[in-house]
A = this chain, B = another copy of it.
Amino acid sequence: MLSIGTLSKKTGTKVQTIRYYEEIGLLPRPGRTAGGQRRYHPHDLDRLAFVRHGRQLGFSLDAIRELLALSDQPQQPCAAADSIARRQLRQVEQRIARLSALKQELERMITECAGENVAECRVLEVLRDHSECLTDHDNIGA
């Protein structure tokens, strides 16, 4: 039986985060001691590690919820898990593409900065200049 602090240390998850996952139903409600403290099975540690690993891979908690539901039914075909992962991969690729464009623009701003005073500063000029504006006006999510 593991305390919440032990789970926290073993997974690198803050105690409050573990309680938060419980609250939103990602982790089952654990048993309690006579005094009301949570006590976990090793099984719960695995589940939490799964969640954290998914987060580190950039999955949303909703996606992780789906993946957990899949992994609870081992007879299902794995196409669903595959498609979740592919969706995630596409999102990651999009973010990389967008960030690479930003990187280029930032580098250009910096290298072209004359270093004199703000009036000629390339950094501010780029931000001011509407014509160089990136044209996609939807998500920023950088």
Most buried by B among A54, A89, A121: A121
Interface class of chain A by DSSP: helix
Taking CB atoms, residues of chain B closer than 8 Å to A54 are: 127
Complex contact A78–B142 (CB within 8 A): no
* A109-131 vs B, Cβ < 8 Å mask (1 yes, 0 no): 11001111111110110111010
**CB proximity of A12 to chain B, nearest CB, Å:** 3
Interface residues on A, range: 35 or more
Which residue numbers of A lie inside 8 Å of B, CB to CB? 11-12, 46, 49-50, 52-58, 67, 70-71, 73-79, 81-82, 84-86, 88-89, 92-93, 95-96, 99-100, 102-103, 105-107, 109-110, 113-121, 123-124, 126-128, 130, 133-134, 136-138, 140, 142
